[in-house]
Amino acid sequence: MESNACAAALLAELSQAKELLKELELNLHCLDLCKALTPRIASSIHNSFLMAESFSTKAGHDQSLFSSLALRPRTLTPRRRHVLRIHAVRLSSVSGGVKGQGEGDGFTWRKYGQKEILGAKYPRAYFRCAHRASHGCPAKKQVQRSDDDPSVHVVTYHGDHTCLEQHDQEQSAAALKVGEEEYFVGQIAPSFGPMEEQFFSSSPYQFGGFHGAESSWLPMEFDRDGEIDPASIWAGVEWMS
DNA sequence: CTCATTTGACCGCC
DNA sequence: GGCGGTCAAATGAG
């Protein structure tokens, strides 16, 4: 896809996300927590806007948006086809609480594994959709605490839910489609549920109390080889198949 | 008793 | 052979 078209698509999706955030702010004004979080989320998306605009102006005619985004070439090959969503979540001590009833980000997950990752301070937890057995839902997610900022957690989603659950988060996800590939480049903040709370509280980093969470678009920077510079982001991200 | 989580073992890929 | 991802038996909570 031609770079300007990619940039336009990205901006269009971001515009939609921004409008959804405005709507969220209007509808949830009675909740102090939501009022506190919404401006931050909006600010993060605004930063993404600046990034996207930068891409659209900086990306030369011989450099696609994806090369400027530094997606590795192998992610564009048919053999690497996948749906990936990267989501950074920062826990906060905002009072009020946002915990759901066992759903967390709106879906029900079952933890099926936890693994110590080489070079990482904190373990990675593996979750799959609870409706895998009944609906064959292939959705999975991985949750790992950031080494640099323990209050930041990287949630990586694999696959889409084929179960019947619907929620606003899916509708507000900003996706950029290119041909047969679909890359989710951001997602509106969900809340943590009891399962994540339990996982995080049992890991080496102890919370004084879990009351809320905020998430943000990842302010990524990349080097010329297409590798993500870990020092430039506040949550480590790996491209996964 | 049922169901979700934990955790060591196993498997496949690089 | 090392590592990440998954399996499955054991364990615990309700």
pLDDT digits (tens, 9 = 90+) for A80-114: 334 455 555 554 433 222 232 233 566 788 999 99
Distance in angstroms: CA A113, C1' C5: 9
Residue A47: count of CB within 10 angstroms of its CB = 14
Please state whether beta strands A83-92 and A212-216 pair in parallel, antiparallel, or not at all (unpaired). antiparallel
DSSP A31: -
Distance CA(A128)–CA(A213), nearest Å, equals: 21
Q: What is the mean pLDDT of residues A138-151?
A: 82
User: Which nucleotides of chain B have an atom under 7 angstroms from any protein CB?
Assistant: 4-9
What was the pLDDT predicted at A146?
79
What was the pLDDT predicted at A104?
52
Distance in angstroms: CA A30, C1' C5: 43
> Residue A119: is its pLDDT beyond 70?
yes
> Residue A136: is its pLDDT beyond 60?
yes
At residue A86, the 3 state secondary structure works out as: strand
What was the pLDDT predicted at A139?
85
Q: Which of A10-19, A157-166, A193-202 has the lowest mean pLDDT?
A: A193-202
What was the pLDDT predicted at A120?
87
Q: Which amino acid is at A177?
A: K
What was the pLDDT predicted at A149?
74
For chain A, what is the mean pLDDT?
53
Q: What is the mean pLDDT of residues A3-18?
A: 54
Work out the pLDDT band at A134, boundaries 50, 70, 90: confident
Q: Closest Cα to residue A198, out of A128, A107, A116, A102?
A: A102
Work out the pLDDT band at A126, boundaries 50, 70, 90: very high
Distance in angstroms: CA A240, C1' B6: 25
| Residue A205 or residue A47, greater confidence | A47
Residue nearest to nucleotide C4 (CA to C1'): A117
* Most confident listed range (A91-95, A129-133, A236-240): A129-133
> Residue A130: is its pLDDT beyond 80?
yes
Distance in angstroms: CA A196, C1' B8: 22
Distance CA(A96)–CA(A92), nearest Å, equals: 11
What was the pLDDT predicted at A147?
79
> Residue A167: is its pLDDT beyond 60?
no
